[in-house]
Chains A and B, each alone.
Chain A
Amino acid sequence: GAVVSQHPSRVICKSGTSVKIECRSLDFQATTMFWYRQFPKKSLMLMATSNEGSKATYEQGVEKDKFLINHASLTLSTLTVTSAHPEDSSFYICSAREQTVNTGELFFGEGSRLTVL
């Protein structure tokens, strides 16, 4: 099956620094990837849709200058949390859809746990 790899799985940083999280589709091409943030009590929030070769589409209320998304190739999307603050601490998960098969399902990475001190 399709595999999505996310890196790093855990990262701790100081307030004010920037953190980059990578999302790779390992055995398929993905023109579109999705970034989610998971809050305590499990609620999953869609942050943005990452589009290969063009700007990301952000959900309402998500700061695009805070959460920079780059989708430079058909297999890689990155999320950069800029000037991180403790309230940005969360579990970030990416997902992708296999374009050729297009069964409708999403394949998820294993998530990245961000802790901002």
Chain B
Amino acid sequence: SQQGEEDPQALSIQEGENATMNCSYKTSINNLQWYRQNSGRGLVHLILIRSNEREKHSGRLRVTLDTSKKSSSLLITASRAADTASYFCAPADRGSTLGRLYFGRGTQLTVWP
């Protein structure tokens, strides 16, 4: 099983700007998931994109997946101070019946008012 590698490690922007985070992985996946973690809290699932999908939207979130490059991106549009959090990607391997997910260091997003 594999973990995703998020990039950049830290991102600092002003409210209203867009935030883009990237994720790379190494082997074939069934799907890729993005999670958010507020400081000192548990993780919250944001969005899941399947290997046969290229783009998915959920509110102000847009996720893309490029399986040829083994990469994904998470775009948060019109960011708000409340979006400040760490964001993690988790590639789910094909054939993983137990559903283990491995996480990297995440991207720490800071949105300034």
Kindly state the interface size class of chain A when it binds its partner.
20 to 34
Contacts A34-B100, A46-B102 hold; do A105 and B43 have CB atoms under 8 A apart? no
- Asked if B42 and A110 make an inter-chain contact with CB atoms under 8 angstroms apart, the answer reads yes
Kindly state the interface size class of chain B when it binds its partner.
20 to 34
* Closest Cβ neighbor of B103 among chain A residues: A44
Query: Which residues of chain A have C-beta atoms less than 8 A from B102's C-beta?
Result: 46
Q: Does A100 contact B (CB under 8 A)?
A: no
Question: In terms of DSSP, what is the predominant structure of the interface of chain B?
Answer: strand
Q: Which of B30, B33, B42, B99 contacts A32 (CB 8 A)?
A: B99
* Closest Cβ neighbor of A44 among chain B residues: B103
Query: Which residues of chain A have C-beta atoms less than 8 A from B106's C-beta?
Result: 42-44
Contacts A104-B33, A104-B99 hold; do A95 and B43 have CB atoms under 8 A apart? yes
- Asked if A46 and B101 make an inter-chain contact with CB atoms under 8 angstroms apart, the answer reads yes
Question: In terms of DSSP, what is the predominant structure of the interface of chain A?
Answer: strand
Complex Cα distance, B45 from A62, in Å, reads 26
- Asked if B105 and A42 make an inter-chain contact with CB atoms under 8 angstroms apart, the answer reads yes
Contacts A34-B100, A104-B33, A104-B99 hold; do A41 and B105 have CB atoms under 8 A apart? yes
Query: Which residues of chain B have C-beta atoms less than 8 A from A43's C-beta?
Result: 103-106
Interface residues of B in 23-60 (CB under 8 A from A): 30-31, 33, 35, 37, 40-45, 48
- Give the interface of B toward A (CB within 8 A): 30-31, 33, 35, 37, 40-45, 48, 86, 88, 92, 98-106, 108
- Give the interface of A toward B (CB within 8 A): 4, 6, 32, 34, 36, 41-44, 46, 49, 57, 91, 93, 95, 97, 103-111, 113
